[in-house]
Structure 1
Amino acid sequence: MPFSIVTLVKGRKKQLENMLESIRHSSMTPDEVIIVWMEPEKPESRVEDSSLPIKQIYLNDGNLPLSKARNLGFYHTTSETVIFLDVDCLCSPTLLENLTTKLNEGIITSAPARYLPFIPLTGDYTEVEQDACVHPKRTSLPTETLLPYKKFWSLVFALTKNTFDKIGGFDENFTGYGGEDTDFAERFNSKGYGFMFVGDEVLHQYHHKYTPPLNYLREIVENANYFYSKHRYFPMYTWLQTFCKMGYITFDKQRHIFKIMSLPKQKDMDSTLSTLPY
């Protein structure tokens, strides 16, 4: 079955090179890999790989335009089946095969993840998979059966072009990080699409992160308020509560929105830098 892969990247060239290596070791290889760089074109934002058909696109708007970048990547694909794969992912050998062969018009396929505490030197899944761990707060979800739509995540998923078009793609009114994937799940559920995990996995390569994600505070608040205007509940609510307790935001009960009171300084963000792999 012909299929395309879409991935987004900003500043994670080594993770991207490892991801591409894992694709080369897969039981099925894609007809094309669409790489959307969310930064200007320069030597650091380009990869060469003669063994894979790669198309590299640049989207530089100064932010982290996840919705816009996913849509842009999708509209550059030529296959009827599309896999969205996070740049931090390493594919298990039969992942791509299972994602595509288990797919049908009413189903979106996905897969669970385990987490690596480092950026590996290699993208060969078999060499590093013994070092990956399970997220302690993520309960094991069954495979090959429909899952609650709110369990959807955008780390890895496959669908047909027709399904993506009927859902309407990702809402580009979400700017930056947060909420756009939960909105996507709300909309595919409302149209009767289901999703399930296949019996494979990805390994998530380590990257710096903040817990809570103070570096994305503005985007999370703005996107959460926009999400509420569409779906009448707030996503990322634990983070919003934490931001409130830290004094950065407050909840306006009259307008039913979260308001930013102040933005964290770099030293505040540094104090929440997490070394955990998940």
Structure 2
Amino acid sequence: MTPTTAVVTLSDDSRLPHVRNQIAALRRWAPGVTHYRADLGTERNLARARNAAADAAVGDGADLLIFLDADCIPGPTLVPAYRSALEREPEAIHCGPVTYLRQGALEPADPLGGLTALTDPHPARPNPRPGVLQEADAGQFNLFWSLSFAVHARTWRGGPRFDESYEGYGGEDTDFAWLQRRAGRRMFWVGGAHAYHQWHRVSSPPVEHLDDILANATRFHARWGSWPMLGWLREFEELGLVRFQDGRWRRASAPAP
């Protein structure tokens, strides 16, 4: 029997146009794949939303789980590449390459028509040849992105999963990867599992998420003894928004203890 595959995503209403492109791609290139979307709502707990959507898919009988960011369009080879990887290494975490699309890259009349011609994976992550599984070393768990990865339902049920004490934006995906490494899970970079991140406006650094990032970075440090998202924290520092004092990052306006 062919394993049942589910795509898991989460979004708010502002990302629904992107989600529609994601669903259209699945219908074109992977008919039969079920789609589970968790609505972030006002709570915006990304970890809880991902866990809930994945649990719903597994509860409905899904064997294979593909997690995609709401902004990501699956390419025509993403689903078969992840299926093959999970067949070969069912107890591992699998990550595919992601291309970030520029503004206006997609043709409005047919967003999927020229998609594969735009393939240009982000250089910060490995991009093996199609059909190749490249095992991540211990240091590469830092490179895990929750915007495109796949796990077998048995692996998901066995945990660990996303820690729901992370609230808002940032840190929960690196924590998830480090929990997998501590549990002895292997991680592979999957050649050919291409996803395409649709353009949208972002702030750099993401100052609208400053409080979330500070809280989640502190939570991560309490568990692991190191600081995640250091690039953002240092950019915030350069802007005069935060300072590092007495072994922790805090808002620059916060009074010293």
Q: Normalising by structure 2, what TM-score?
A: 0.85
- Which residue of the partner structure matches residue 158 of structure 1? 150
Q: CA–CA distance in 1 between the matches of 2:199 and 2:32?
A: 24
- Which residue of the partner structure matches residue 93 of structure 2? 108
Query: Does the CA contact (< 8 Å) of 1:28 and 1:96 recur in 2?
Result: no
- Which residue of the partner structure matches residue 67 of structure 1? 47
What do you get for the CA RMSD once the two structures are aligned?
A: 2.0
Do the aligned partners of residues 75 and 140 (structure 1) sit closer, same or farther apart at CA in structure 2, a change above 3 Å counting? closer
**Secondary structure, aligned partner of 1:145:** strand
* Structure 1 residue 125 displacement after superposition: 3.6
1:258 counterpart = 2:249:
yes
1:226 counterpart = 2:213:
no
**Secondary structure, aligned partner of 2:114:** helix
- In structure 2, the gaps of 5 or more residues are none
1:16 equivalent among 16, 19, 33: 19
**Secondary structure, aligned partner of 1:76:** helix
* Structure 1 residue 131 displacement after superposition: 3.9
Do the aligned partners of residues 20 and 198 (structure 1) sit closer, same or farther apart at CA in structure 2, a change above 3 Å counting? same
* Structure 1 residue 126 displacement after superposition: 4.1
Query: Does the CA contact (< 8 Å) of 1:28 and 1:94 recur in 2?
Result: no
- Which residue of the partner structure matches residue 272 of structure 1? none
Which has the larger displacement, 65-74 or 193-202? Answer: 193-202
- In structure 1, the gaps of 5 or more residues are 40-61, 264-278
1:45-64 equivalence runs, <5 A: 62-64=42-44
- Which residue of the partner structure matches residue 35 of structure 2? 33
* Structure 1 residue 38 displacement after superposition: 1.4
Amino acid at match of 1:81: L
Query: Does the CA contact (< 8 Å) of 1:149 and 1:194 recur in 2?
Result: no
Query: Does the CA contact (< 8 Å) of 1:106 and 1:192 recur in 2?
Result: no
* Structure 1 residue 5 displacement after superposition: 1.3
Task: Give the number of aligned pairs.
Answer: 237
Q: CA–CA distance in 1 between the matches of 2:159 and 2:4?
A: 22
* Structure 1 residue 159 displacement after superposition: 0.5
Q: CA–CA distance in 1 between the matches of 2:109 and 2:74?
A: 12
Query: Does the CA contact (< 8 Å) of 1:179 and 1:220 recur in 2?
Result: yes
Q: Deviations for 1:69-128, whole angstroms, at most 9, x for unmatched residues? A: 001101111212211111111111121111022113321112111121136326754423
Q: CA–CA distance in 2 between the matches of 1:231 and 1:122?
A: 48
1:1-278 equivalence runs, <5 A: 1-10=3-12, 11-27=14-30, 29-30=32-33, 32-39=34-41, 62-77=42-57, 78=60, 79-103=62-86, 104-118=89-103, 120=106, 121=108, 125-131=112-118, 133-135=120-122, 138=124, 140-142=126-128, 143-147=132-136, 148-200=140-192, 201-253=194-246, 256-262=247-253
**Secondary structure, aligned partner of 1:25:** helix
* Structure 1 residue 244 displacement after superposition: 1.4
- Which residue of the partner structure matches residue 276 of structure 1? none
Query: Does the CA contact (< 8 Å) of 1:146 and 1:196 recur in 2?
Result: yes
Q: Deviations for 1:174-227, whole angstroms, at most 9, x for unmatched residues? A: 001100000000000111111212222111100110111111111011000000
* Structure 1 residue 27 displacement after superposition: 4.3
Do the aligned partners of residues 95 and 139 (structure 1) sit closer, same or farther apart at CA in structure 2, a change above 3 Å counting? closer
Amino acid at match of 1:112: P
Q: CA–CA distance in 2 between the matches of 1:187 and 1:167?
A: 9
Greater helix percent: which structure? 2
**Secondary structure, aligned partner of 1:247:** coil
- Which residue of the partner structure matches residue 43 of structure 1? none
Amino acid at match of 1:26: W
Q: CA–CA distance in 1 between the matches of 2:109 and 2:15?
A: 14
* Structure 1 residue 262 displacement after superposition: 4.4
Question: How high is the sequence identity, in percent, across the aligned residues?
Answer: 28
Q: Normalising by structure 1, what TM-score?
A: 0.79
Q: CA–CA distance in 1 between the matches of 2:126 and 2:145?
A: 15
Q: CA–CA distance in 2 between the matches of 1:131 and 1:198?
A: 19
**Secondary structure, aligned partner of 2:218:** helix
